[in-house]
Structure formats: structure tokens, C-alpha cells
Amino acid sequence: MSNLRQDFIAFSVKTGVLRFGEFTTKAGRQSPYFFNAGLFHDGATLAQLSQFYAQTLLDSGVEFDMLFGPAYKGITLASATAMALAGKGRNTSFAYNRKEAKDHGEGGTLVGAKLAGKVVIIDDVISAGTSVRESVDMIRAAGAEPCAVLIALDRMERAGKDGQLSPNSAVQEVALQYNIPVISIGNLDDLFGYLNGAGADPQLLQHKEAVATYRERYGIA
């Protein structure tokens, strides 16, 4: 596990964004951990989070011209990442969408820079892939090219319902469907590595077995 990925998991745990216990996911699964990017809700944590996003994007080697943040969480994430990139010497424009079209002022559903060139979609996680699908459609309709999706955490678990599980995760299905890479700052393997590491809080080690069992049941091959 790279230092950046390890630092991101540790940061998420420290801020309470990544928690361990018993949680019910949108898919109705009982998960031993929960990641809520909405809890990155103060200036210091958002500033640090944006550094992780920016550095991960730069390290990926993906060629891009601008960023796009799907409403709602993606709006903050894309704008903060653009600021972090500027601080690293890469001034990049960004845009985002409204949930409802505006019929006055600049109008429409898109706000910010005009969508053009190679566009990176930035969000927190991919669950069903709905926001990615909508983002890809908007970007292509504007004549631009979606070139990658950048998320905070890849849960690396198979899509579908129990008894009808897909061999692929939601992240993999997005990558396959749109033929674009999905880049994550951290993933389930990083999380498990953190729990195995010497730096993990001894109180967190009690959740290691539950995470391993969950990964065995739902994790991708």
C-alpha cells in the first residue's frame, strides 16, 4: 500500500468519515464499515481531502483538460480539487450540474466552465453508477470526452442482489461500459491493509475479522 493510500485511510478513520461497526448499505447489505464523505465538512478536512484527490489524479498519468462534479457531493469535490491542483501548478477549469434546470440568468443545468476536451468526473463513491451515467451523457452531449472517473473509496464489492451477484463491482461495470478508467484514492484492500498494519488502532483490530468475512462474501475476485 502506497504512503498516499495509507495516509488517506488513516485520515478517513481519524476524521470519522470511515467508521467500523454494523451498517446497512443502500443495497441492503450489512456492512462492517461505512464511508460517508459528507462528513468532510470543515475547511481543514476538505483542504486535506482535496490534496489526496489532486495528487491521486496527477499520479494516475491520465491526460485531462478539466473537471466535472455531479450534484451534489461532486460539486464541492471538483471545485476543491481544482484549487488543490492549482496549488500544485496545474490550473484546471471545472464545471458541475444542477439537479433542476434554471430558466433565468445563465439558464440550463450546467454551471462553470464550458465542457470541452478531456473531462474527469469527480465523486465520492460509485454505488449504482447512476451519477456517472448522467455525467457521461451530459459531457458527451456537450461535445466533450469523459476520460476518467476519480472517486475517494472503491468498496471493491460485487454489484447486484444476494443470489444474483454480478462477477463485477459497480466500479468495474462503469469502467467496462464507458471504456474509461475509474481511479480511487483508496479501496477495500487498502482498508484491510490498514487494519493489518502496525499503525492501526488496537481498538480497530476487533473489526478485522468482520471486514475479512464481508470481503470474502461480496468482494470481487
CA atoms within a 13 Å half-sphere pointing along the CA-CB vector of 123:
22
Catalytic residue among 104, 114, 207, 208: 104
The response to whether 143 counts as a known ligand-binding position is: no
Instruction: Check residue 114 and report its DSSP letter.
Output: P
Q: Does 104 participate in catalysis according to the annotation?
A: yes
CA 146 → CA 97, 114, 140, 160, 162, distances in Å? 15, 14, 7, 25, 32
- 141: annotated binding-site residue? no
Q: Is 81 annotated as a binding residue?
A: no
CA dist., res. 189 & res. 153, Å (int)? 10
**Is 96 marked within a binding site?**
no
Q: Assess contact for 45 and 15: CB atoms under 8 A.
A: yes
Is position 53 annotated in a ligand binding site?
A: no
Q: Which of 88, 102, 114, 161 is catalytic?
A: 102
**Inter-CA distances, 69 with 109, 122, 127, 151, 162, Å:** 12, 5, 16, 11, 31
> Any binding-site annotation on 137?
no
117 close to 92: Cβ distance less than 8 angstroms: no
Binding residue per annotation — 12?
no
Residue 98 assigned to a binding site: yes
Q: Is 104 annotated among the ligand-binding residues?
A: yes
- 35 annotated ligand binder: yes
Q: How far is CA 7 from the centre of its chain?
A: 16
Enumerate the active-site residues: 102, 104
Binding residues for orotate: 34-35, 127, 155
Binding residues: 26, 34-35, 72-73, 98-99, 102, 104, 123-131, 155
Binding residues for 5-phospho-alpha-D-ribose 1-diphosphate: 26, 72-73, 98-99, 102, 104, 123-131
